[in-house]
Amino acid sequence: MKKRVEEVLNQLRPELQAHGGDVELVEVTGDGLVKVRLTGACAGCPMSAFTLAMGIERALRREIPQIKGVVPVP
């Protein structure tokens, strides 16, 4: 599943990078949680929660139904 998560994140990266940010995959847990770290401009952006929920989590859950959620880590 980790490889599939990376593939989806790679599709999202150009948009994040266009705004000076990026996303790093930290872990995919056995119970379907994806732990990510927002980097660059995304790390301190007030819209990062929206990016995480409506962008990253939504795309992952659409492409990989087994994903239960996305959790940010520092």
pTM: 0.90
Domain at 2-72: CATH code: 3.30.300.130
DSSP symbols for 3-68: HHHHHHHHHHHHHHHHTTEEEEEEEE-TTSEEEEEEEETTTT-TTHHHIIIIIIIHHHHHH-TT--
**Mean pLDDT (whole number) for 18-42:** 94
What average pLDDT does the structure give for the chain? 93
Q: Model confidence over 39-64: pLDDT tens digits? A: 999 888 888 888 888 899 999 999 99
Query: For residue 66, is pLDDT > 90?
Result: yes
